[in-house]
Each structure stands twice: as C-alpha cells, then as structure tokens.
C-alpha cells in the first residue's frame, strides 16, 4: 500500500502548478507564478519542492535544474528515475519501462557498492524536432 500524503497548502499550490504545466519548471519561474497566491520567497518554493521530491510527487531534472510532476500514476519509483530530454525543444518526458528499471535496479558491479537509487537522463532529438 502506498502512503497517502496530504499536501500542505504551499505544497499543493506548487504541485498543482507544475502538474498543470505538463513539463519541467524552474524554481524561480514557479516562484513568479505563485506570488499572486502569497508565496513570496525562494525558500518557500524550495521547501515545498524538497518535500514533493522526497515523497515522489515530482522529480528533479538534474541537468536542467528543473522540476517535473511524476508521470507514473503509481508515483512509487522516485528512487529510480529515467527521463528523455530533447536537446532542441527541451521537452522532457519520464520513461517508464519495466525492463529498464529492473535492469538498473538490479545493477551491481565489482565496486562493492549497493545502489539504492539512480537517475538516468537520455538526450537526443524528439520526433518533432528530428523532422524539422
């Protein structure tokens, strides 16, 4: 069973914004968009983002310093994330591919390290940009 997280006021405002945007959003763009709702300071945004990342409602796209709503309905795999990023239009989508996630979750090498998390970012041209 998945734990139900009751989002706080700021968390809800910020999650809804990111979710509705349908793509990655940057922290200060989020800030700008929620100022009319009373969220005035960067820290308020970052705190909500931290929490949302922690509970898996959003993910951080590390190479872009941006945040995107989790697109896996289950929202259970925040410790195993994979994204495809178009280097032309900067469109990002989350990859949910069972084989890939199994392969990576079970990956082990000779280092003696046990991996508990991973983040994978693929880069290329999306269908639209390829055909331009």
Instruction: Decide whether 19 or 94 has the Cβ nearer to a copy of itself.
Output: 94
Candidates 94, 67, 76, 96; CA nearest to 4 is 76
Residues 49-68, interacting with DNA (CB under 7 A): 50-51, 65
Tell the smallest beta-carbon distance from residue 58 to DNA (Å).
12
The set of residues, in sequence order, having a beta carbon less than 8 Å from that of 123 and lying 6+ positions away, is 63, 84, 85, 87
Among the candidate windows 4-12, 77-85, 89-97, 102-110, which touches DNA by CB under 7 A? 4-12
CA distance 103 to 117: 13
* 95 lies in the binding site for a copy of itself (CB under 8 A): yes
For 7, 101, 114, 128, the CA distances from 72, given in Å and listed in that order, are: 18, 13, 25, 23
* 28 lies in the binding site for a copy of itself (CB under 8 A): no
Angle at 95 between CA 92 and CA 96, to 5 degrees: 150
* 109 lies in the binding site for a copy of itself (CB under 8 A): yes
CA distance 18 to 14: 6
Which residues bind to DNA, rule: CB under 7 A? Answer: 6, 8-11, 26-29, 38-44, 46-48, 50-51, 65
Which residues bind to a copy of itself, rule: CB under 8 A? Answer: 62-63, 84, 86, 93, 95, 97, 100, 103-104, 107, 109, 111-127, 130
């Amino acid at each position: 069973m998945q734990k139900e997280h009751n989002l706080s006021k700021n968390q809800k405002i910020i999650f809804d914004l990111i979710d509705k945007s349908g793509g990655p959003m940057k922290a200060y763009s989020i800030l700008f968009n929620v100022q009319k709702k009373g969220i005035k300071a960067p820290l308020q945004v970052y705190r909500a983002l931290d929490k949302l990342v922690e509970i898996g409602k959003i993910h951080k796209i590390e190479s872009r310093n941006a945040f995107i709503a989790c697109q896996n309905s289950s929202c259970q795999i925040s410790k195993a994330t994979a994204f495809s990023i178009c280097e032309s239009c900067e469109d990002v989508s989350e990859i949910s591919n069972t084989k890939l996630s199994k392969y990576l979750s079970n990956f082990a090498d000779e280092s003696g390290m046990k991996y508990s998390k991973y983040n994978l970012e693929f880069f290329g041209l999306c269908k639209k940009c390829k055909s331009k």
